[in-house]
């Protein structure tokens, strides 16, 4: 951002009088005793001394014991007491925790964030100045900072928080720091983990340094939390409706359930094996429910018949809240809040609507959604006390699992699901699906109920299901995610040998190295989009530019091309929409009407992207007159998703300004007109889009009635049923090339999300390798194609100019 990182001005190591005066800020009187009561306070001296004597220290301790808020302060206070200079950077896994923690720490110290010694910095937002000595930032931000400041000379301590989450950024940073520590003997690194398996981190550093890495375990001090399961929730509430939407009392028999986790296409054999397994589980479940004899026969029947792996029993959640209200009425004491864990924004919204409906009659609840993609101002509300007499009810994703501590929670309702990205390197397909959490996560979630007094936690699955189906620990993100972005960063940070194979060498040194095939796929993609050279895996000019943008390379390339080719506005809109969930809603009851509305937006073009663009523009017009919500409702659009797209759009614009691809100025009104000179040229917009989507292109089989699409290495695929192209007849397409946003493997086969027909010229310009796949070869800068005419195959040479000036058959 051009602004400094941590107090760079006084790196001399000498503390000024001014600084000393500033340090004399009055700590919050009420919180001093609170801080001293935290379990971590007992280990204060040990922590300070260990960090002073060792380059690297690992600290583990139960959530809530005070690691995040206290350890940085212990270190800072120790340095100030000795009159020494220090600059602490503490990384957090998410934006919201960086803000929340810095505000809390500042409050404990009696100062304001950004003006005293405590500050935060996240993507596009910074509250810190040259006096900041304790900076909370996201892990991703520190990684980007390393691009311009590779040895972090001004930083004395780096604290990596929540390393147990094993995010790809955190695992990556750990490799980098291990190398950096060898060069910077004065640097201190502290790893903090909420789980007990912290020894693994110590070993990782020990093998490199051949010296012992101290591990400090902070004893927890939490109240007991009763573990309750689906059967207990049904028993307590008498609610036998285990559906999400409410099944109006009729007890329907669910279709055989499938595991959401599998991404591969099932063959008949595994399906049979699966149903065998289900049968066994059913019997076991029945036996365990009956054996306990704790549950009424109605409960046993409800759980056995209605438990559905795919659906979250949102109806039951509402009933449980009512049960909590009755069994644990609000009084003067602490600890009335309820924390509900859900997999994602959709479910949060759905439940929020249902609870609002119930709340409308009794007004007992103060509802707070909490999700990583929410605006930061919105997120802050959850830390405030609820209005008098109301029960705080927080609807959160796994963001509240360990990094954020919300006051007052004594009840947890856990859907036991989270959204997890998985990646199948063999099929080169990724999925984002709600999956069961690990047992470690379930335990962590439960622990959130025991902070101020004994609590209760309902896991909304049968007890036996947890024991049989939940993994012990989650897989590290690095082994279940595509590696393109990571590879770009490794190159931009210059931390791997500059030769072919350098990336593999680097990633093999990670805590849990990813599968080699994942890396091969990532390098291949980066070669194809022109971000890495084939000879030595070095960054090209485009690659360098992509590495500075904190978005995936495909979104990034579209944005860059949008600037270069003068269609910034439409590309901003499209990329913002493509980076999140769909803006189109397709209710089952009125799918036909919804499809029609979407087709109307596409305006006759075989393009989902055209539909998105028009839908957004018309919604935005309506929103200017505060009619957006109504417009969305009438046209089967998701108003919230559109609002979020508008936010992301502004964020992307700021990123482009940061990267100096767009000149400075504020808001989209200030965009230089030249950057939009082609904004109304659909062909150019599509070309920018294709440049980013590539290599997500396929060839259409126009002889068929339903559009079938060929992609190299996959069986024939179809456009997703929600696409405007789902029913397009092959012959209606002008061109035979299709660009698509993503391909997703489901139980019903492979589907393409968001497809657009494209003409061959942009493929020639930006997706040349796709031509190679089609048997087109290049001869002296022209293309040699094989044409099948009536009698024989014929080779023809086509010059690029032919395409440009005369157009050309596909
Ligand atoms: P850990 O990192 O070990 O999980 P924290 O340092 O985050 O623990 O929190 C220690 C304690 O400080 C919590 O148990 C909670 O009581 C209190 N706390 C932390 N953050 C806040 C906040 N934003 N508002 C109020 N209390 C907080
Ligand atoms: Mg913490």
- What percentage of the chain carries pLDDT values higher than 90? 49
- Give how far Cα 763 sits from Cα of 95, 116, 382, 724, Å: 38, 54, 48, 22
Q: Is the CB of 100 under 6 A from ligand 1?
A: yes
The closest residue, in CA terms, to atom 12 on ligand 1 is 66
Strands 225-228 and 365-370 come out as unpaired
Q: Which residues, 6+ apart, have CB-to-CB distance to 200 below 8 Å? A: 511
Which string of DSSP letters, residue by residue, matches 220-256?
Answer: P----EEEE-HHHHHHHH------SS--TT--PPPPP
What pLDDT score does 769 carry?
Answer: 67
Secondary structure (H, E, C), 43-87: HHHHHHHHHHHCCEEEEEECCCCCHHHHHHHHHHHHHHHCCCCCC
Whether residue 243 has pLDDT greater than 80: yes
Structure ipTM: 0.99
Compute the distance from residue 38 Cα to the ligand 1 centre, in Å. Answer: 9
Q: Is the CB of 405 under 6 A from ligand 1?
A: yes
Tokens of 647: 């936010």
End-to-end Cα distance, the chain: 45
Q: Where is average pLDDT lowest: 201-205, 257-261, 416-420?
A: 257-261
Residue with tokens 């999925």: 431
pLDDT band, residue 432 (cuts 50/70/90)? low
Compute the distance from residue 133 Cα to the ligand 2 centre, in Å. Answer: 19
Q: Is the CB of 382 under 6 A from ligand 1?
A: no
DSSP assigned state of 539: B
Which string of DSSP letters, residue by residue, matches 584-619?
Answer: B---GGGHHHHHHHHHHHHTT-SBHHHHHHHHHHHH
Q: Where is average pLDDT lowest: 12-16, 248-252, 449-453?
A: 248-252
Q: Closest ligand 1 atom to the C-alpha of 63?
A: 4
What pLDDT score does 10 carry?
Answer: 39
Q: Is the CB of 64 under 6 A from ligand 1?
A: yes
What pLDDT score does 96 carry?
Answer: 80
Q: What is the mean pLDDT of residues 244-260?
A: 49
Whether residue 410 has pLDDT greater than 50: yes
Whether residue 5 has pLDDT greater than 80: no
Compute the distance from residue 222 Cα to the ligand 2 centre, in Å. Answer: 14
Dump pLDDT digits (tens) for 73-86.
Answer: 999 999 999 999 99
Average pLDDT, the chain: 84
Compute the distance from residue 66 Cα to the ligand 1 centre, in Å. Answer: 6
Q: Where is average pLDDT lowest: 247-256, 393-402, 467-476, 713-722?
A: 247-256
Whether residue 23 has pLDDT greater than 60: no
Q: What is the mean pLDDT of residues 257-265?
A: 38
CA 444 vs. chain centroid, Å, equals 20
Q: Where is average pLDDT lowest: 87-101, 388-402, 643-657, 667-681?
A: 667-681
Whether residue 772 has pLDDT greater than 80: no
Q: SS3 of 777, please? A: strand
What pLDDT score does 588 carry?
Answer: 62
Rounded to whole angstroms, the Cα distance separating 400 from 767 reads 42
Rounded to whole angstroms, the Cα distance separating 750 from 23 reads 60
CA angle at 372 for the pair 367 and 619, rounded to the nearest 5°: 80
- What percentage of the chain carries pLDDT values higher than 70? 83
The ligand minimizing its distance to the Cα of 406 is: 1
Give the relative orientation of helices 591-602 and 608-624 as an angle to the nearest 10 degrees. 90
**Does 740 or 250 have the greater pLDDT score?**
740
Which residue from 34, 41, 69 has its CB within 8 A of the most atoms of ligand 1, so it is best to mutate?
Answer: 69
DSSP assigned state of 41: G
The ligand minimizing its distance to the Cα of 65 is: 1
What pLDDT score does 714 carry?
Answer: 67
Q: Where is average pLDDT lowest: 338-352, 685-699, 712-726?
A: 712-726
β-pair partners for 158: 89, 189
**Does 671 or 89 have the greater pLDDT score?**
89
Rounded to whole angstroms, the Cα distance separating 211 from 469 reads 39
Rounded to whole angstroms, the Cα distance separating 453 from 84 reads 41
Whether residue 459 has pLDDT greater than 70: yes
What pLDDT score does 17 carry?
Answer: 53
Dump pLDDT digits (tens) for 668-689.
Answer: 567 788 899 999 999 999 999 9
- Give how far Cα 258 sits from Cα of 180, 255, 305, 706, Å: 47, 9, 15, 28
pLDDT band, residue 788 (cuts 50/70/90)? low
**Does 32 or 458 have the greater pLDDT score?**
458
What pLDDT score does 250 carry?
Answer: 41
What pLDDT score does 261 carry?
Answer: 37
The closest residue, in CA terms, to atom 14 on ligand 1 is 64
Rounded to whole angstroms, the Cα distance separating 324 from 807 reads 69
The closest residue, in CA terms, to atom 13 on ligand 1 is 64
Compute the distance from residue 810 Cα to the ligand 2 centre, in Å. Answer: 57
- pTM for this predicted structure: 0.79
What pLDDT score does 260 carry?
Answer: 37
DSSP assigned state of 532: B
Q: Is the CB of 67 under 6 A from ligand 1?
A: yes
Compute the distance from residue 67 Cα to the ligand 1 centre, in Å. Answer: 8
Side-chain-facing half-sphere of 500: CA atoms under 13 Å:
7
Q: Is the CB of 65 under 6 A from ligand 1?
A: yes
**Does 435 or 770 have the greater pLDDT score?**
435
The closest residue, in CA terms, to atom 23 on ligand 1 is 104
Compute the distance from residue 89 Cα to the ligand 2 centre, in Å. Answer: 15
Which string of DSSP letters, residue by residue, matches 342-411?
Answer: -SSHHHHHHHHHHHHHHHHHH--EEEEEE-TTS-HHHHHGGGSPPSTTPEEEEEE-GGGTTT---TTEEE
Rounded to whole angstroms, the Cα distance separating 253 from 247 reads 11
Dump pLDDT digits (tens) for 701-731.
Answer: 766 555 566 666 666 777 888 888 887 765 6
Dump pLDDT digits (tens) for 600-632.
Answer: 999 988 899 999 999 999 999 999 999 999 999
The ligand minimizing its distance to the Cα of 103 is: 1
Compute the distance from residue 777 Cα to the ligand 1 centre, in Å. Answer: 62
Rounded to whole angstroms, the Cα distance separating 392 from 171 reads 35
Q: Is the CB of 63 under 6 A from ligand 1?
A: yes
Q: Is the CB of 104 under 6 A from ligand 1?
A: yes
Dump pLDDT digits (tens) for 494-523.
Answer: 999 999 999 999 999 999 999 999 999 999
**Does 391 or 426 have the greater pLDDT score?**
391
Compute the distance from residue 402 Cα to the ligand 2 centre, in Å. Answer: 6
pLDDT band, residue 255 (cuts 50/70/90)? very low
Q: What is the rounded radius of gyration, in angstroms, for the C-alpha atoms of the chain?
A: 28
Q: Is the CB of 38 under 6 A from ligand 1?
A: yes
Query: Cβ distance 521 to 428 under 8 Å?
Result: yes
Q: Is the CB of 434 under 6 A from ligand 1?
A: no
Q: What is the mean pLDDT of residues 719-745?
A: 78
Dump pLDDT digits (tens) for 97-154.
Answer: 898 899 999 999 999 999 999 999 987 789 999 999 999 999 999 999 998 899 999 9
Dump pLDDT digits (tens) for 184-205.
Answer: 999 999 999 987 778 999 999 9
What pLDDT score does 712 carry?
Answer: 66
Compute the distance from residue 405 Cα to the ligand 1 centre, in Å. Answer: 5
What pLDDT score does 43 carry?
Answer: 95
């Amino acid at each position: 951002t051009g602004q400094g990182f941590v107090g760079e001005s006084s790196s001399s190591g000498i503390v000024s009088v001014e600084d000393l005066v500033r340090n004399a800020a009055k700590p919050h009187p009420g919180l001093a005793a609170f801080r001293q009561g935290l379990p971590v306070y007992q280990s204060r001296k040990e922590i300070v001394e260990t960090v002073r004597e060792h380059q690297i220290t690992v600290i583990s301790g139960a959530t809530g014991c005070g690691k995040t808020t206290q350890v940085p302060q212990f270190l800072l206070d120790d340095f100030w007491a000795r009159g020494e200079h220090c600059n602490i950077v503490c990384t957090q896994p998410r934006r919201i925790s960086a803000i929340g923690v810095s505000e809390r720490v500042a409050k404990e110290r009696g100062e304001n964030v950004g003006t005293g010694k405590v500050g935060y910095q996240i993507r596009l937002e910074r509250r810190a100045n040259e006096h900041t000595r304790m900076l909370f930032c996201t892990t991703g931000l520190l990684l980007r900072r390393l691009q311009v400041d590779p040895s972090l000379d001004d930083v004395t301590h780096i604290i990596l928080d929540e390393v147990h989450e094993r995010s790809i950024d955190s695992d990556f940073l750990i490799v980098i720091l291990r190398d950096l520590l060898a060069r910077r003997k004065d640097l201190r690194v502290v790893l903090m983990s909420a789980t007990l398996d912290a020894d693994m981190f110590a070993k990782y550093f020990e093998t490199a340094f051949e010296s012992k890495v101290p591990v400090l375990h902070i004893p927890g001090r939490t109240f007991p939390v009763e573990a309750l399961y689906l059967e207990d929730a049904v028993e307590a509430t008498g609610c036998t409706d285990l559906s999400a939407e409410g099944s109006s009392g009729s007890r329907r028999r669910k279709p055989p359930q499938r595991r959401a986790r599998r991404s591969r296409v099932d063959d008949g054999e595994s399906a049979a094996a699966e149903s065998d397994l289900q049968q066994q589980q059913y019997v076991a479940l029945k036996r365990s429910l009956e054996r306990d004899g704790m549950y009424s026969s109605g409960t046993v029947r409800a759980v056995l018949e209605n438990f559905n792996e795919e659906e979250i029993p949102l109806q039951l959640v509402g009933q449980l809240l009512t049960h909590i209200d009755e069994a644990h009425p609000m009084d003067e004491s602490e600890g009335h809040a309820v924390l509900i864990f859900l997999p994602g924004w959709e479910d949060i919204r759905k439940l929020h609507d249902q609870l609002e409906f119930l709340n409308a009659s009794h007004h007992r609840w103060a509802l707070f959604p909490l999700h990583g993609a929410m605006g930061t101002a919105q997120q802050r509300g959850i830390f405030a006390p609820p209005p008098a007499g109301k029960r705080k009810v927080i609807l959160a994703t796994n963001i509240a699992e360990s990094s954020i501590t919300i006051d007052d929670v004594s009840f947890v309702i856990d859907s036991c699901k989270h959204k997890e990205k998985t990646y199948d390197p063999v099929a080169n397909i990724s999925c984002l699906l709600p999956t069961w959490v690990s047992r470690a996560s379930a335990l962590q979630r439960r622990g959130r109920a025991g902070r101020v007094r004994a609590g209760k936690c309902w896991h909304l699955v049968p007890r036996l299901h947890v024991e049989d189906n939940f993994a012990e620990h989650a897989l590290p993100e690095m082994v279940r995610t595509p590696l393109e972005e990571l590879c770009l960063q490794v190159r931009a940070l210059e931390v791997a040998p500059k030769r072919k194979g350098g990336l593999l060498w680097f990633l093999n040194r990670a805590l849990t190295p990813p599968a080699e095939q994942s890396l091969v796929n990532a390098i291949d993609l980066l070669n194809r989009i022109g971000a890495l050279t084939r000879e030595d895996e070095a960054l090209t000019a485009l690659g360098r530019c992509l590495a500075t943008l904190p978005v995936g390379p495909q979104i990034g390339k579209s944005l860059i091309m949008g600037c270069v080719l003068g269609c910034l506005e439409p590309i901003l809109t499209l990329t913002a929409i493509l980076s999140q969930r769909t803006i189109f809603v397709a209710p089952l009851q009125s799918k036909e009407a919804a499809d029609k509305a979407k087709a109307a937006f596409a305006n006759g073009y075989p393009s989902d992207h055209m539909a998105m663009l028009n839908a957004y523009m018309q919604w935005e017009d309506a929103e200017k007159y505060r009619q957006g919500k109504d417009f969305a409702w009438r046209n089967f659009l998701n108003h919230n998703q559109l609002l979020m797209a508008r936010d992301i759009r502004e964020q992307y614009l700021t990123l482009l300004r940061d990267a100096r691809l767009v000149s400075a100025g504020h808001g989209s009104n200030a965009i230089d007109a030249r950057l939009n000179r082609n904004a109304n040229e659909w062909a150019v917009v599509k070309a920018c889009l294709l440049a980013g989507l590539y290599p997500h292109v396929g060839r259409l089989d126009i002889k068929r009635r339903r559009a079938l699409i060929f992609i190299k290495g996959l069986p024939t695929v179809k456009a997703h049923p929600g696409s405007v192209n789902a029913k397009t007849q092959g012959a209606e397409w002008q061109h035979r090339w299709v660009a698509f946003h993503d391909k997703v493997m489901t139980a019903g086969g492979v589907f393409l999300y968001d497809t657009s027909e494209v003409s061959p010229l942009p493929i020639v310009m930006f997706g040349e390798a796709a031509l190679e796949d089609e048997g087109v070869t290049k001869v002296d800068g022209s293309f040699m194609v094989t044409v099948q005419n009536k009698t024989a195959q014929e080779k023809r040479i086509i010059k690029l100019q032919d395409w440009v000036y005369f157009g050309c058959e596909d």
